[in-house]
Amino acid sequence: NNGIGMASVGRNVMILPVRVLGKCVGYDSDIQAGMQWAAGISVPGVPDNPTPAKVINLSLGGGTGCTTAYQTIVNQVIARNVTIVASAGNEGLAVAAPAGCTGVIAVAGVRHAGTKVGYSSLGPEVALSAPAGNCVNTTGACLNPLLTTTNTGATTPGASTYSDSFDASLGTSFSSPLVAGTAALMLSVNPSLTPAQIKS
């Protein structure tokens, strides 16, 4: 509403950023603890979250399917009436974990024309798809990037900026928050919706 930059899906929705990965590496245990904390579940050694999330976006994943550890955490979070949205993956293979877990809204990616983009993982776990961007050209500016906010910092925060055709943002990691933002808007209208109702 400030007349500059861009408008996205989650109009007037509060954001609770939770960092679970480093620049190049991360552990499932950290992701799982972050999911618990975001949902208001106590995590040993960390103060409780005073403002639990209603929707958790997971623009991350690895492997395929769902491990017992992930499913246990997903069940705990959903029991708190928190909706989980996760990217399907960018390997063009089976759906990555945690998107492959039961109860998670797994999001695949579509290209500008509305069909599945080649790199998007796909499987029966996928609930729906959202724009993921695609560069059909192999050289020069990306023809169909997503416009998104970004930061120039490599090890510490830098200048806030936008991605564009020369610094493209692509992948199901960008599809997933479009769906998570929509889920948040649904809850803004009807706070009594359950994760299963939102997914349906």
Burial of 133 (0-12, 13-18, 19+ CB in 10 A): buried
Q: Which two tokens stand for residue 190?
A: 């009807």
User: Which residues are registered as beta bridge partners of 117?
Assistant: none
User: Which residues are registered as beta bridge partners of 3?
Assistant: none
* Residue matched to tokens 């877990």: 101
165 closest CA partner among 146, 187, 180? 146
Predicted pLDDT of residue 1: 67
CA 76/CA 43 separation, integer angstroms: 12
CA 6/CA 173 separation, integer angstroms: 18
Q: What is the pLDDT along the chain (200 residues), one digit of tens a residue?
A: 677 777 778 888 999 999 999 877 889 999 999 999 999 999 999 999 999 999 999 999 988 889 999 999 999 999 999 999 999 999 999 999 999 999 999 999 999 999 999 999 999 999 999 999 998 877 889 989 888 888 888 888 899 888 888 888 899 999 999 999 999 999 999 999 999 999 99
Cβ(198)–Cβ(127) below 8 Å: no
98 closest CA partner among 196, 80, 106? 106
Q: Which two tokens stand for residue 43?
A: 């995590």
Helices (H), the chain: 28-38, 68-79, 172-189, 195-199
